[in-house]
Amino acid sequence: MERADLTEAAQLASVDGNWAIKADGVSFTYSGAGRKALDGLNLAIRAGEFTVIAGASGAGKSTFCYCCNGLIPHFVRGQLDGDVRVFGRSTGSSKINQLAQDVGLVFQDFEAQLFSTNVELEVAFGPENFALPREEIRRRVRESLATVGLTGLERREPATLSGGQKQRLAIASVLAMEPRVIVMDEPTTDLDPVGKEGVFRVARQLRERAEFTMVVAEHETEEAIGADRVVVLDGGRIVADGSPRAVLARADWLEELGVQPLGAAQVLARLGEPVALTVEEAAARLADRGYRIDPASAARQDAAEAARAAGYGEVVLEARDLAYTYPNGVAALSGANLSVRRGEFVAVVGQNGSGKTTLVKHFNGLLAPTAGEVTVLGRPTTGQSVLQLGRSVGYVFQNPDHQIFAETVFDEVAFGPRNHGVPPGEVKERVAEALAAVGLAGRDREDPFAMTKGERQRVAVASVLATRPHVIVLDEPTTGLDYREQRRMMDLVRRLNEAGHTVIIVTHTMWVVAEYAHRTVVVKDGAIWLDGPTRAVMAREEELLAASLKPPQVVRLGNRLGRAFLSVAEAVRLLERPEAAGDAAPDDAAPGRAAGRGGRG
């Protein structure tokens, strides 16, 4: 796909010169880095346009975002060549406080953006620094919090909010400044599915009201369907630039770049049919072409899943009438009941602030029940120390940097076994075993803080594995990782489960739930809302929506055809077209079918 694929809005901009952001030949190399983060980038974004910048980690998305508001070159050290202009003003020669009135940036690390003592003050900080009248500040705070769904939390300390609520607060603090350009660097990483939709809905609404130019860096693509334009970066260069339909239709190509493809587009491409972007369009096309679910294949799959469930062992974790109220008075759990058997792979999902993380923190003693009881291997957690519980239940935090502290990978992974009194010789064996399991063998002398986010996540998992727990709990194991890294992490977790570990993950990433978890537990308002085999839970779209959850495209496509598909590969395997034997596929579609049959879902 070449630059000729520009959207109509971008083509008009090239005529009238109404640019909000214009990058001419921009290259940037971070201080001490061996390669360019941006490499000769030429990109112009028209005023009022809603542009999604897609790409894997390291593609240059964040670097471009930093160039837009002057963080590069004023605060981030490195070599900048070329020029970035915002409404004709060069960011390199403009002061940050001048640029802040034109460009608002929501950081990928949104927690680094929050510092005030309550939500209201956080949102008011920007307008106060612009010396606006008090009533105007109040209006902006009120409207911004309403836009992101945080009305009523004005007096809460940001530290007491859930990860998703913090992310929405960071967005509100930028909205309140009412800049002409809003740049969001992966703003949906920690939001529930409906919350993700909300961010992009806000972007579209602002675009329609012609109030803002929106630039959103993202590696998930379903929400990008509603953008004006999608730009794909790879290695700091533009490799695609066009309308969502032109760019997102290339599903398997996007996956190769580390960008999450649209499930509907992938299914149709692999079946050799003309590509569709939405579930409704794809379902109608498949129905028109006579596709149906092969009953024999579906029956075999159901039998295999039933056999797997029958093989689970005894109950290893149980919560009975569990309730928990935080010291600030927030009731996070009320009457939650849950039991987990040995060998299960369970996903715990729910809206931001629903109580998911609060629930799983009871399993290893990080929290103690306000009411009710939690047992591990039949023993109440309240009678055991965190050290004792750590031998049975390992916990991997959402942010590996909250867990990692040692100067070398070896010392980090060895900490748990040493703390449990394991002899030095066995400690060495356990470290080697754990690092091999997570694909980091031979890297035990490296500094974990010099590693990538995905590698640090694997170090955190290894540090838990080295204690040889019965149960592994992973809180948002894919947050901050691109699509390729998410797959690597979840393939690792699947291998651990297949090796005998009981696995519990807390996540908002619904395609991860569909493809990897055998059982799904939905938490809503501090109680268990749904609990069952993942396929059965994914079929209940209305009830999931009531919990602010939305199945991934491929699942919704299957639901419309009569069976929830849990992956693209499964959909391609189960769908058949009876008349296809005497009906050759279109010439231009045949390669897609051949390539897709052997592809990964």
The mean pLDDT of the chain is: 87
Copy the structure tokens of residue 337: 């009941």
Q: Hey, which residues does 215 pair with through a beta bridge?
A: 51, 183
Give the least confident one: 14-18, 235-239, 359-363, 588-592.
588-592
Kindly tell me if the per-residue pLDDT of 9 is higher than 80: no
The DSSP secondary structure of 419-478, one letter per residue, reads HTT--HHHHHHHHHHHHHHTT-TT-TTS-GGGS-HHHHHHHHHHHHHTT--SEEEEESTT
E strands in 67-115: 78-86, 89-90, 103-106
pLDDT, greater one: 229 or 399: 229
Averaged pLDDT for residues 167-196: 82
The DSSP bridge pattern shows strands 371-376 and 379-380 to be antiparallel
User: Tokens 């290259």 appear where?
Assistant: 27
Q: Is residue 87 classed as helix, strand or coil in its secondary structure? A: coil
Report residue 352's pLDDT band, with 50, 70 and 90 as the boundaries.
confident
Looking at mean pLDDT, say which of 54-58, 541-545, 576-580 comes out highest: 541-545
Closest CA to 517 of 553, 551, 563, 482: 551
Which residue type does 350 have?
A: G
Report residue 585's pLDDT band, with 50, 70 and 90 as the boundaries.
very low
- Percent of the chain whose predicted confidence (pLDDT) is above 90: 62
E strands in 480-564: 502-506, 519-524, 527-533
Report residue 15's pLDDT band, with 50, 70 and 90 as the boundaries.
very low
For position 506, what pLDDT does the model report?
A: 94
- Percent of the chain whose predicted confidence (pLDDT) is above 70: 90
For position 570, what pLDDT does the model report?
A: 96
Q: Angle CA(443)–CA(447)–CA(448) in degrees, nearest 5?
A: 85
Same fold, 3-268 and 314-541: yes
> What are the extents of the domains in the chain?
3-268, 314-541
Averaged pLDDT for residues 459-478: 90
For position 577, what pLDDT does the model report?
A: 82
Report residue 5's pLDDT band, with 50, 70 and 90 as the boundaries.
very low
The DSSP secondary structure of 316-330, one letter per residue, reads EEEEEEEEEE-TTS-
Kindly tell me if the per-residue pLDDT of 221 is higher than 80: no
Kindly tell me if the per-residue pLDDT of 496 is higher than 70: yes
Give the least confident one: 11-20, 326-335, 454-463.
11-20
Report residue 586's pLDDT band, with 50, 70 and 90 as the boundaries.
very low
Kindly tell me if the per-residue pLDDT of 524 is higher than 90: yes
Q: Count how many Cα atoms sit within 13 Å of the Cα of residue 333 in the half-sphere of its side chain.
A: 29
Averaged pLDDT for residues 488-503: 91
For position 591, what pLDDT does the model report?
A: 33
pLDDT tens figures, 34-75: 899 999 999 999 998 989 999 988 899 999 999 998 999 999
For position 191, what pLDDT does the model report?
A: 67
The span from the CA of 298 to the CA of 293, in Å, is 7
Q: Is residue 81 classed as helix, strand or coil in its secondary structure? A: strand
Kindly tell me if the per-residue pLDDT of 220 is higher than 50: yes
Q: Is the separation of the CB atoms in 207 and 50 below 8 Å?
A: yes
Report residue 589's pLDDT band, with 50, 70 and 90 as the boundaries.
very low
List Cβ<8 Å contacts ≥24 apart for 79-83: 79/27, 79/28, 79/29, 79/31, 80/26, 80/27, 80/28, 81/25, 81/26, 81/27, 81/28, 82/23, 82/24, 82/25, 82/26, 82/27, 82/40, 82/41, 83/23, 83/24, 83/25, 83/26
Averaged pLDDT for residues 183-192: 77
For position 14, what pLDDT does the model report?
A: 42
Give the least confident one: 1-15, 72-86, 372-386.
1-15
Q: Is the separation of the CB atoms in 269 and 275 below 8 Å?
A: yes
Count of helix runs (H) and strand runs (E) in the chain: 25, 22
Q: Is the separation of the CB atoms in 509 and 246 below 8 Å?
A: no
Give the least confident one: 186-190, 356-360, 506-510, 540-544.
186-190
For position 112, what pLDDT does the model report?
A: 79
pLDDT, greater one: 593 or 568: 568
The DSSP secondary structure of 332-390, one letter per residue, reads EEEEEEEEEETT-EEEEEESTTSSHHHHHTTTTTSS--SEEEEEETTEEGGGS-HHHHH
Please tell me what DSSP assigns to residue 239: E
For position 347, what pLDDT does the model report?
A: 98
Q: Hey, which residues does 19 pair with through a beta bridge?
A: 46
Looking at the chain, how many residues does it have?
A: 601
Copy the structure tokens of residue 466: 């080295």
The DSSP secondary structure of 241-281, one letter per residue, reads EE-HHHHHT-HHHHHHTT-PPPHHHHHHHHTT----SSHHH
Kindly tell me if the per-residue pLDDT of 580 is higher than 60: no
Provide CATH code, domain 314-541. 3.40.50.300
Q: Angle CA(520)–CA(525)–CA(531) in degrees, nearest 5?
A: 20
Please tell me what DSSP assigns to residue 406: -
Q: Is the separation of the CB atoms in 108 and 185 below 8 Å?
A: yes
Kindly tell me if the per-residue pLDDT of 590 is higher than 50: no
For position 478, what pLDDT does the model report?
A: 85
Q: Hey, which residues does 132 pair with through a beta bridge?
A: none
Report residue 33's pLDDT band, with 50, 70 and 90 as the boundaries.
confident
For position 203, what pLDDT does the model report?
A: 64
Cα separations in angstroms, 71 against 84, 97, 256, 442: 12, 11, 31, 37
List Cβ<8 Å contacts ≥24 apart for 203-212: 203/50, 203/227, 204/50, 206/182, 207/48, 207/49, 207/50, 210/48, 211/178, 212/48, 212/179, 212/180, 212/181, 212/182
Which residue type does 75 have?
A: F
For position 600, what pLDDT does the model report?
A: 37
Q: Which residues contact 454 (CB under 8 A, 6 or more apart)?
A: 57, 481, 485, 488, 489
The span from the CA of 399 to the CA of 459, in Å, is 12
Looking at mean pLDDT, say which of 198-202, 290-294, 326-330 comes out highest: 290-294
Pick the CATH number of 3-268 from 3.40.50.720, 3.40.718.10, 3.40.50.300, 3.40.50.2000: 3.40.50.300
Q: Is the separation of the CB atoms in 248 and 230 below 8 Å?
A: yes
pLDDT, greater one: 99 or 319: 319
Give the least confident one: 91-100, 210-219, 226-235.
210-219
Q: Is the separation of the CB atoms in 232 and 239 below 8 Å?
A: yes
For position 211, what pLDDT does the model report?
A: 65
Averaged pLDDT for residues 96-105: 86
Averaged pLDDT for residues 132-143: 94
Kindly tell me if the per-residue pLDDT of 460 is higher than 50: yes
For position 597, what pLDDT does the model report?
A: 30
Q: Is the separation of the CB atoms in 391 and 467 below 8 Å?
A: yes
For position 190, what pLDDT does the model report?
A: 67
The span from the CA of 190 to the CA of 507, in Å, is 9
CA 152, 155, 157, 158 torsion-angle sign? positive
Averaged pLDDT for residues 207-221: 77
